[in-house]
Structure 1
Amino acid sequence: MILLRNLAFYLFFYPGSLMLSFAAAAASYVRPAWVKPLCDAWSDWHHWCVTRLLGITIRETGTRPDYPALYAIKHESFYEAIAMAHMFDHPAGIAKAELFDLPGWGRAGIAYGLIPVARDQGASALRAMLKAARPAIKQGRPVVIFPEGTRIPHGQRPPLRSGFAGLYKLLRLPVVPVAVDSGPIYRNTLKPRGTITWHFGEVIEPGLERAEIEARVHEGINALNAPERLD
């Protein structure tokens, strides 16, 4: 059954993704207002394929605040990146600047309201992020970041990227650490049934020193990150 479920997933999700991606890229040129609903539809389509075709259960624990916040999320697989627009209401995701150079995708990402970050530009990159994030914050949109900077295998706990603390200081937003345990299921080519949990941790107030905010966020995003069992 795992082969049939995965075959159905790949046959349905990827052709649908191509159509919606091309539509969003085209809309970024002719009707930018359509980009958001098309991107949301792509994320919703992914959620349907994951839950209905793969048979994966998505569970949410903890409590989200009802005010703008910076969500610092564990990144174990492509799952959480695609699921972002389904899990949050028009998130202002922070993404590496190189992605915005991709034909079509870059314009669509800007039209959606994503925030590019040039990791090699230090303080100037933080100022650019702050400028891009301010309109989203005024609109009440959640700001979303993967503070480890890249996908991390389940069970590993690398330090946060240095830019996270600077962004936290500049944005002056409360932080919600979010633990996600998608790695053991979604990172596989053949994705087994199981449960992916999003755990929203305790809200962390703005204004903390760098060492404290990094320690608390690091602990929070790794709350579900027990090493994989080999037996």
Structure 2
Amino acid sequence: MPANPLDVARSLVFYAAFYLGTVGYVTGSFLASFVGEEPLRRVVRGWSQYHRFCARWLLGIRVRLEGTMPEDGVLVALKHESFFEAIDLPAQMQRPAPFPKAELTEIPGWGWALRRYGAVVVERGEGAKALRAMVSSARGLAAQGRPLAIFPEGTRVPTGAQPPLQSGFAGLYKLLALPVVPVAVDSGRLYHRRWKKPGTITLRVGQRIEPGLAREEVEARVHAAINALNR
């Protein structure tokens, strides 16, 4: 189906405003990282809120939150349909700790600021040593009361798709021994890669899942909860 000309125009204005503004925030995060963790976190949250502002007033996208996002050291498992939920995390929660791929930490300036902000860097295919380092980092951030935000499907999926969770999620759940808060997201309907559409993106917070469950049970419960908006 051909793109709606109005959606194309909105998206172009959004891209210009958001990415030009992002240059300033990236510069600010790099400078703030020399001052301390709290100034850096404020810049990151400001960037996320700026994205929310651009999405609302330039794209016509509203955000509806059903439930309450956690503000403690738990594992937050989110559905991943677009870049929206990744960028929106700091606007949704206080000081969330993401799980970025190692390649992102190699970006000059940005990578260093990301490590200073506090993230669990994922070294794929690096074996047991990398896994131990990741678990140690996650435990340290959770001990600070920071929610650990992870996409258990491993990558973005099309709207309506319900792939199985990546095997590493259950292992992380077992090793960290933390509660899991699943979050369903339906951003893929509107926040397309190219031309975005106006409407409402819903985030639905599921019931907290306590640690210690068998792999099959925790995977089934998380899978059902993060896909609650796709039924």
Give the direction of change, closer, same or farther, for the CA distance of 1:123–1:217 in structure 2 (3 Å limit).
Answer: farther
Between 212-221 and 1-10, report the one with greater CA deviation.
1-10
Q: Alpha carbons of 1:209 and 1:124: their partners in 2 closer, same or farther (altered >3 Å)?
A: farther
Does residue 1:133 correspond to 2:146, yes or no?
no
The TM-score normalised by the length of structure 2 is: 0.91
State the alpha-carbon separation in 2 of the partners of residues 180 and 213 from structure 1. Answer: 19
Question: Structure 2: which 5+ residue stretches go unaligned?
Answer: 1-5
Q: Give the one of 172, 184, 187 matched to 1:182.
A: 187
Pairing 1:1-231 to 2, within 5 Å after superposition: 1-28=6-33, 30-33=34-37, 34-65=39-70, 67-226=72-231
Contact 1:92–1:144 under 8 Å retained in 2:
yes
Q: How many residues align?
A: 225
CA deviation after TM superposition for structure 1 residue 101, in Å? 1.3
Question: What is the distance in 1 between the residues matched to 2:12 and 2:101?
Answer: 31
Letter in 1 for 2:109: G
* Secondary structure in 2 matching 1:53: helix
Amino acid paired to 1:10:
Y
RMSD: 1.6
- After TM superposition, give the deviation of residue 19 of structure 1 in Å: 1.2
The alpha-carbon deviation at position 132 of structure 1 amounts to 0.8
One-letter code aligned to 2:107: L
Secondary structure, counterpart of 1:197 in structure 2: strand
User: Partners in 2 of 1:184 and 1:94 — Cα distance?
Assistant: 24
Query: How far, CA to CA, are the matches of 1:156 and 1:54 in structure 2?
Result: 24
Q: Is the 8 A contact 1:176 1:201 kept in 2?
A: yes
Residue type of the alignment partner of 2:142: I
Question: TM-score, with normalisation over the residues of structure 1?
Answer: 0.91
CA-CA distance at 1:65 after TM superposition: 4.7
Structure 1: gaps of 5 or more residues: 227-231
